[in-house]
Amino acid sequence: MRKRWAARPVPCLNLKSTSELHGLPESLALMLARRGYSGKILEDFLNPDIHALSSWKNLGGIMEAAERIVRAVANSEKILVHGDFDADGITATVVVYRALHELGADISYYVPDRFIEGYGIGSSAVQFCAENGIDLLITVDCGITANEHINALNGINTDTVITDHHQAGDQLPFAKAIVNPALDGDVRHSALAGVGVAWMVMNGVYELMNADVSSLQELLQLVAIGTVTDVVDLIDDNRILVSEGLKVLRRKPLPGISALAKSASVDLKSSNSSHLAYYIGPRLNACGRVGHAKQAVALLLATDKSEAEELLAPVEENNRIRKQYERDVEKQVKGLTSELQDPRCIVLAGEGWHRGVVGIVASRLVSRFGVPVILISLEGDNGYGSARSIPGISIHSLLGRIQDKHMIMNSFGGHPMAAGLTIPGDNVQFLKEHMETLLSEQKWDEYLGSVLYLDGSLEEKDYSIETVRAMERLEPFGSGNSMPVWLARGAYAVQWRAVGKNRNHLSCDFKIGSSIFRSIGFNMVEKQSLFSVRVDLAFTLAIDTWRNDGSIQLMLKDIRRTGEQNS
């Protein structure tokens, strides 16, 4: 689908002082100014420091949570950490388990089966607590809507501490303590992933117990993985947590992470957020999607290299299967969307779609069409859906409005940008119609559509290794801090060819100004039809690791004829 190009919509600040204060190339300095970074804000952005992290005490409910956990550790109570089956929940489970195990706690973990138990605390978890005499259940990345089952836990004298970051329901559960930044107004904490919340709670526990926090610093590598993979904004506290976590990952990775990285051909010594997002995180997610998340938890809890290598095999097999399921669903969905023209939302359902991968495919449709997407796997009389949205449109709020008025879903929950739901198959068409009605409102127009945001142009001298190295100061990249996308007008294609196993990628040399630069455009081979005229390029700048000759290349995001306007 054709993308609309637009300048990134943020205020421009003082370029001159930005450039002089921090020694950045002028093009980068202007880009940062456009994003709203200047003065002390820019200095903090370029130098994320663990000492600038917000105090754990700022999180609502955290003191009560930490005190209850400390009491459980001191009294040798049986503690169970209840996680979720995605990478955020998996890493959060391991953070709490490792942190409390280090303190000598009687600790175990429980992660539900996606296909048998579903998301969050269920009756099986309550039964487990009853049969094993659990005194304290600590939830991570879940629990904020588990009113019924937390009441059941109260009935068997199992206390609950909830740590979560999802949207709450109309009534909060009757837990001993609830820590959820979605309930607070603190902006710096508001974007924390579930693993970030869990790590903050463990900081409170360690401080109250006067324990050595060095082991918590080592766990920041898990916080980095969970935070990046959960696609929360990498700003404020998240930027600090991920930056520090990457430092730990490069210096002293856990055996399980080393095994994952080796299998993915990732050099951890030079790893960045992209490696976490595209290689490490998906492998952890695959276990919860097609196998069982406890396989990933076990790998991250491995104590040595040999144990990690043994536990790696099922994780890698899950990842292989996950890829196949993705291809199957994506092929069917591609056919169903091939004739869509400027949709305002997409709601699709199909039998045989593996429910563990529909969220991944939904995310790709969001990227392609720039509209909210709900994909639903039909199994018998029920549908199991994953919803994804775009900035400015809360999919959780839309589903809430529909459910409040029509009560057509069995359950739903999640974030503004992502949600899960279960629905009777007969109600899918109603959901589609209600979504289309809500999004037909004119107020959504400014958010809908596939938009490629541009950060400006580079001077010819800035097409260099030095600029790429300077951009490394902007890491970690991700949601809320995307890699700069540059614009080059009037480029001339000198030579080009189709590359890749399926010949669907485009390798091209472009003349820009007086210089020629190599480029690669993934899944862009059809764009070569434009090369009879000059073209405008949207791209990111990177080192050419394929040739490994110290040169740069343009990573193409889009190509259009020079002078062509958005339509």
- pLDDT tens digits for range 441-469: 999 988 898 889 899 999 989 999 999 99
pLDDT at 13: 54
Does the domain at 453-567 match CATH 2.40.50.460? Answer given as: yes
Does the domain at 55-299+307-315 match CATH 3.90.110.10? Answer given as: no
Instruction: Give CA torsion, residues 268, 272, 276, 279, to 10 deg.
Output: -70
Residue from 153, 135, 134, 133 nearest 143 by CA: 153
Report, as ranges of residue numbers, the positions in the chain whose pLDDT lies below 70. 1-2, 9-21, 185-188, 548, 566-567
pLDDT cut 90: percent of the chain above it: 81
Residue ranges of the chain that CATH labels 2.40.50.460? 453-567
Residue from 219, 184, 6, 9 nearest 94 by CA: 219
pLDDT at 314: 96
pLDDT cut 70: percent of the chain above it: 96
Residue ranges of the chain that CATH labels 3.90.1640.30? 55-299+307-315
pLDDT at 2: 67
pLDDT at 342: 86
Q: What CA–CA distance (Å, rounded) separates 182 from 529?
A: 48
pLDDT at 518: 95
CATH fold, domain 340-444, is Diaminopimelate Epimerase; Chain A, domain 1 (3.10.310)
Q: Are 248 and 271 in contact (CB under 8 A)?
A: no
pLDDT at 12: 53
How many other C-beta atoms can be found within 10 angstroms of the C-beta atom of residue 421? 23
Residue from 517, 476, 566, 395 nearest 48 by CA: 476
How many other C-beta atoms can be found within 10 angstroms of the C-beta atom of residue 42? 22
